[in-house]
Homo-oligomer: A and B are copies of this chain.
């Protein structure tokens, strides 16, 4: 991130009283609800437009959504009318969390219409000219937006954040990859039901049970991890040349994905060096991004941590907790990691990407939109 020149952005917003209007595609879904919850009181952004399926369009948000979060649905949002999912009338910045099949058609339309589309959908994550970004990990991949035809035509572009189970893994791995090199990754997940949306996982499938299968998840984790840890190489990203295998499971937990990891490093590292790599990993320090955790990767020293119910809310759900660092008798090291799947792993990921883009001057404020028009 050394090449980012952060504005003192919070100052700008305070001074100008000028926020960036946000539109949400998929506003009634679980991640859509999290966007709304997390953007309430956001210092830079303001929810300005909500779109969902045709069934919801025209209703108030309060009527259209079955609000499932444990903070109240903000009054202002409840009264907003759900718009049709079309670029006409939408603001210049769109957060999208919709089914991949729909995203594949819809997101490019918004980008072509000039919008910055920040997507949690999987449709374009692996597209060569679409950046797949975690701000702490590979901010420099954002340069890929300049490779998108829409960027020149209308100014619009697409940026994606990874799958919920990928984010925690990559945040824990990046500091180690950087310092010691990374050759092999074994990961086995125990994922929360909120990752499947609402209604999502049937209670009959998960009470007193484990489902050792999540469609497409293992493939996503394996591919996304290597792209995220890869190098920007001219017009695309060369994925990290490491071996990776994922086992993905659903467990009866509401929020928080737990992952067991074994790794082989390129050069020997002691436990102390690994702990130091995690502790010192603060690539966004000084940028004043409101959602950036102060300590992105936190080590829990107790032998039985991290645990989803106890650790998922660290730094408002934006930190990843690691623990149980110990020797692996097959590879080099093994450890456990935990991250909040709908905050750090979805809605918060999009928001932090947006904050990074805003600090780079790549998102339009209401005033700028008005001036341009």
Which chain A residues have a beta carbon within 8 Å of chain B's beta carbons?
30, 68-72, 184-186, 188, 190, 193-194, 198-213, 215, 222, 243-245, 247, 249, 251-254, 258, 260, 262, 303-314, 323-324, 328-331, 334, 336
Nearest CB to that of A336 among chain B residues?
Answer: B212
Contacts of A70 in B (CB 8 A): 309-313
Contacts of A305 in B (CB 8 A): 212-213
What is the CA–CA distance of A193 and B72 in the complex, to the nearest angstrom?
A: 25
Task: For A253, give its contact among B208, B245, B306 (CB under 8 Å).
Answer: B208
- Shortest CB-to-CB span from A243 to chain B, Å, is 5
Count of identical protomers in the assembly: 4
- Shortest CB-to-CB span from A313 to chain B, Å, is 6
Q: A208 near B211 (CB under 8 angstroms)?
A: no
Q: B252 near A252 (CB under 8 angstroms)?
A: yes
What is the CA–CA distance of A137 and B69 in the complex, to the nearest angstrom?
A: 30
What is the CA–CA distance of A244 and B253 in the complex, to the nearest angstrom?
A: 29
Q: B247 near A334 (CB under 8 angstroms)?
A: yes
Q: A212 near B247 (CB under 8 angstroms)?
A: no
What is the CA–CA distance of A260 and B214 in the complex, to the nearest angstrom?
A: 14
What is the CA–CA distance of A235 and B224 in the complex, to the nearest angstrom?
A: 52
What is the CA–CA distance of A324 and B249 in the complex, to the nearest angstrom?
A: 12
What is the CA–CA distance of A322 and B335 in the complex, to the nearest angstrom?
A: 26
